[in-house]
Amino acid sequence: MSGTTINTPAGTPFVEVTREFAASPTQLFRVMSDRDLVAEWLGPRELDATIEEYDVRTGGKYRYVHRDDSGEYAFRGVFHTVEQDRLIIQTFEWEGAPGQVCIEKMTLEPTEKGVRLHQQSVFPSVEARDQSIEYGMESGINDSMDRLAELLAKES
């Protein structure tokens, strides 16, 4: 189902994700920032998600935990810049690799068909980025983006 493009240029610490949704920037921002809705789409389908904190505002924090039969995977970060319906800049850290903090910039751009989400992530090193890919980052992104599209379709 995925219409998600993931670009992971070899030898760089960068990941770029692009996906277009049949929704307005306001609808997408709401589903991306409401902690109850985030729990419905964030992460791989086979994992249960608990959103412990999700304060989407400049200076706000977040923490969520994914669980399966093998264990728990916790993530946290800080929202550095939030411009409603347009921009989120945040840190992202998997607690299983403390100190390996990414910077993520997400823009919501209106299009003729809806809205394009463009996410740029910068990892602290090429090795940290490659390790995230090895741990299944791409399938998690694809699942999340597909689930986000499904939720937006239900919400509109």
* Length in residues, the chain: 156
Average pLDDT over the chain, rounded to an integer? 95
Of 135, 128, 154, the residue nearest 43 (C-alpha)? 135
- pLDDT value of position 135: 86
Q: Write down the CATH superfamily of domain 5-155.
A: START domain (3.30.530.20)
Query: Rounded CA gap, 27 and 155, in Å?
Result: 8
Q: Is the pLDDT of residue 2 over 90?
A: no
Specify the pLDDT at position 1.
47
* pLDDT reading at 145 higher than 80: yes
> Beta strand 14-21 with 48-54: parallel, antiparallel or unpaired?
unpaired
% pLDDT > 70, the chain: 99
Q: What is the pLDDT of residues 29-82, one digit of tens each?
A: 999 999 999 999 999 999 999 999 999 999 999 999 999 999 999 999 999 999
